[in-house]
Amino acid sequence: MLWPDGERAVGQVAARLGGVSAIAGAVEILVDRLYDNATANRNAAVAAFHAERGHAGFKFLVTAWSIEQTGGPKCYPGRDMTAAHERLHVTEDDFDTVAPDIAATLSYVGVPAAEHQEFTDIIESYRTMVVETGTAVTVAAASAPVRA
């Protein structure tokens, strides 16, 4: 691994997203949006975190997570997605509030369509780990095919 020269160390998708600097720049914008997202802040645990904790550490964690998830070097030191979110009681609605902010940020920084879709697919693949089991089960049950 060529770390700390992150621009050379990034993996394929991370490189196509623009490398470490571009990912960090996108997260800078995204996290500021999320902290100000009034709908996301309807979740009291999320609002409390936003009120009590600064942006810098969270930006670092989300940047490292994104680098690692897109094929870059193993550099994420945070909790897994289930552990990180379980005390927040994130609902399907909460998740659907955050997802458009992610998409809007990718568009704003000019991520091309293919990479935009790949990153969106990665985010979506974590939905069941982030959303509280109760609400995920409810939605899954509601959309399950009816058997005779």
Summarize as ranges the residues that interact with ligand HEM (CB under 6 A). 40, 43, 46, 49, 61-62, 65, 78-79, 84-85, 88, 90, 94-95, 98, 123, 126, 130
| Min dist. Cβ of residue 48 to ligand HEM (A) | 8
| Min dist. Cβ of residue 2 to ligand HEM (A) | 23
> Closest-CB residue for ligand HEM?
78
Q: Of 7, 23, 5, 3, which is closest to residue 122 (Cα–Cα)?
A: 23
Contact 81, 129 (CB under 8 A): yes
Nearby residues of 26 by Cβ (< 8 Å), 6 or more positions away? 17, 66, 105, 106, 109, 111
Q: What is the DSSP letter of 5?
A: -
| Min dist. Cβ of residue 63 to ligand HEM (A) | 9
Q: With respect to ligand HEM, which residue has the nearer C-beta, 10 or 63? A: 63
Q: With respect to ligand HEM, which residue has the nearer C-beta, 8 or 46? A: 46
Q: Which value, to the nearest 10 degrees, does the dihedral of the CA atoms of residues 137, 78, 10, 104 take?
A: 50
